[in-house]
Amino acid sequence: MTEADSAALRIDMTRLGDKLAELASIGAIEGTEGCARLALTDEDRDGRNLVVTYMRDLGLDVSIDGIGNVIAVMAHDGPEAPVMTGSHIDTVRTGGRYDGNLGVLAGLEVIETVIGSGITLDRPLAVGFFTDEEGARFPPDMLGSLVYVGGMALEDALEIEGIDGAIVGDELTRIGYAGSAPLPGPVPHAFVELHIEQGPVLEVEDITIGAVTGVQGISWQQVTITGQSNHAGTTPMSLRRDPGFVAAACATFVRELALELGHPQVGTVGRVEFAPNLVNVVPASATFTVDLRNTDEAVLVEAEQRFAAFVAKAAEAEGCTVETETLARFEPVTFAPEVVDIVESAANDLGHSVMRLPSGAGHDAQMMARVCPTAMVFTQSRDGLSHNAAEYTSPADLEAGANVLLQTMIRLSQNPASV
Ligand code: HGY
Ligand code: MN
Ligand code: MN
């Protein structure tokens, strides 16, 4: 087949749509289009088993490593490192069916299209899914890809305790995904991830494809305020040491701080737990999470410092103590311009509108960028909605994104890569 032939290749959207629907049926959230497959749960195991079956049905060489990452590579004569794609299939508790799942299943579809066409590439293609990208059960997020690139030692990752008290290593063994493939994982020639934008920009700009230039910095911390549990009826306001009040003040401060620092600064208090969490008891403690993000590392550091000063002052004024634990901390990442260029030119050649933008969400690609030339392809999210079971991307946009991924991977697999 000539280069013109490979440029004419297109994915099979019916095949991709069927796989997206089948995977979404695992952990389906009743009455919605979404699914819940928190990392290393039974639902995650069942989703993994389905995707591994897809990989094996394609005749790919499937490997599972010690943190449960699953990588599948096309057969190939020669030593060339593969061009790799992939994402994650774990979800948040109110997950949509496209977050992560699209990148993995579209990667499989790209490989099936290439195999079916009979073209030979200078490099093999590979697709993988990484463990616990969401970090919602076991922080930090992007845990599997972080370990894959050597950013965290496997033994440290295996000891991580989840929000439900489970331990990563125990859960990996329980679901049968404590693999033996080497870590850090093999370095691909290049890595490209297809993902829904999970934000409003492409839709507002009426652009089909995002050529993603990088990922903003992420700061996650868990804060525990400890005061004095007391009777809600008999304790005068002047005698209270109420950690619930401090937590509420912090949540308000996080919002005000983000607004004051201005776009793209964002701040979220997503999880709050009072103990003993009873209507007639002034809480003994309040534990909450703070998620701060910015594309500018210096401003993100300023946000962290200002929050730390606020919570210390607010707790002291209420006679409470503060404990802070860092759950995740990743600096902003810039993707490889030469790969972003290929994404952009592939989108143009396919006749799709395309714009460059940074990612507001974290992705496995930000870890792969530590070891090889990396970029991402975005498709629209309706109303910018994600981490919500109503998450939606139209079939036309899914197909456009998968074809841009196909063409980008083919160009990266040619020596030299053609822009
Ligand atoms: O939190 C994130 O940005 C990603 O969804 N893990
Ligand atoms: Mn994701
Ligand atoms: Mn997500």
- pLDDT-based confidence at residue 2 (cuts at 50, 70, 90): low
287, 222 Cβ separation under 8 angstroms: yes
User: Residues 378, 401: contact at Cβ < 8 Å?
Assistant: yes
Atom of ligand 1 nearest to the CA of 360: 3
pLDDT at 417: 65
User: Ligand 1 atom closest to Cα of 141?
Assistant: 6
Q: What is the pLDDT of residue 124?
A: 97
Q: Which domains does the chain have, with CATH numbers?
A: 3-215+333-418 (3.40.630.10), 217-330 (3.30.70.360)
Q: How confident is the model at residue 5 (pLDDT cuts 50, 70, 90)?
A: confident
Task: Give me the mean pLDDT over the 241-265 stretch.
Answer: 98
Question: Is 90 touching ligand 1 by the criterion CB < 6 Å?
Answer: no
Mutate to test the pocket of ligand 1, among 37, 141, 290 (most ligand atoms within 8 A of CB): 141
The residues pairing with 311 across neighbouring beta strands, listed in sequence order, are none
Burial call 145-181: b when 16+ CB within 10 Å, e when fewer: bbbbbebbebeebbebebeeebbbbebbeebebbbeb
- Output the CA 105–ligand 1 centroid distance in Å: 19
pLDDT for residue 266: 98
Mean of pLDDT values over 83-100: 98
Q: What CA–CA distance (Å, rounded) separates 43 from 34?
A: 13
Residue 291 phi, psi (nearest 5): -110, 110
Q: How far apart are CA 326 and CA 289, in angstroms?
A: 10
Output the pLDDT for position 415. 75
Say what percent of the chain tops pLDDT 90. Answer: 96
CB 196 within 8 A of CB 376: no
Residue 226: the pLDDT is 98
pLDDT at position 399 is 98
361 lines ligand 1 (CB under 6 A): yes
Rounded distance from Cα 19 to ligand 2 centre (Å): 17
Q: Which residues pair with 275 in a beta bridge?
A: 285
Token duo for residue 305: 């410092």
Dist. CA 389–CA 33, nearest whole Å: 6
Q: Are 371 and 149 in contact (CB under 8 A)?
A: yes
Residues 34, 390 contacting (CB under 8 angstroms): yes
175-217 per-position pLDDT tens digit: 999 999 999 999 999 999 999 999 999 999 999 999 999 999 9
Identify the CA nearest to 98 among candidates 312, 392, 419. 392
Q: For ligand 1, atom 6, which residue shows the shortest CA distance?
A: 134
* Token pair of 402 as six digits: 């998968």
Closest ligand to C-alpha of residue 215 is 1
- pLDDT for the residue numbered 380: 98
| In the predicted structure, residue 376 carries a pLDDT above the cut 60 | yes
Atom 2, ligand 1: residue with shortest CA distance: 362
State residue 293's pLDDT score: 98
Q: Is the beta carbon of 360 within 6 A of some atom in ligand 1?
A: no
Task: Determine whether 268 is exposed, middle or buried from the number of CB atoms within 10 Å of its CB (0-12, 13-18, 19+).
Answer: middle
Maximum C-alpha span of the chain: 83
Mean pLDDT of the chain: 97
CA 128 to the chain's CA centroid: 13
pLDDT, position 419: 56
CA of 394 to the centre of ligand 1 (A): 22
- Whether the CB of 141 sits within 6 Å of ligand 1: yes
pLDDT(300) > 90: yes
With residue 360 as reference, give the H or E element that holds it.
none
Q: Could you give the 3-state DSSP secondary structure of residue 28?
A: strand
**Ligand 1 nearest atom to the CA of residue 361, by list position:** 3
Q: Which ligand is nearest to the CA of 95?
A: 3
